[in-house]
Amino acid sequence: MEHTDGEADEMMTVNEVAHALRVSKMTVYRLVNNGQLQAFRISERCLRVPRSAFEEHLRSHETR
């Protein structure tokens, strides 16, 4: 993860990612499990997605 300002990367919840992508939470979990979206497991039932990973995912799936 690249940090331009030296601060820690903001973390997003699965719900926030799902809302931003307008998909279900299950779709976000599938993206994470398939290795398409980086996430950190905080506990057995809690994931966090770095905002930089979310933005990279958007860039890599951009259509032209």
Residue environment code for 37-62, b if the CB has 16+ CB neighbours within 10 A, otherwise e: bebeeeeeeebbbbbebbeebeeeee
In order, the DSSP letters of 50-63 are EHHHHHHHHHHT--
pTM of the predicted structure, to 2 decimals: 0.81
Q: Cα-flanking dihedrals φ and ψ of residue 19, to 5°?
A: -65, -45
Predicted pLDDT at 1: 46
Task: Write out the chain's pLDDT in tens, 64 residues.
Answer: 445 555 678 999 999 999 999 999 999 999 999 999 999 999 998 999 999 999 999 999 888 7
Delimit the domains of the chain by residue range: 11-60
Distance separating alpha carbons of residues 21 and 52, to the nearest angstrom: 15
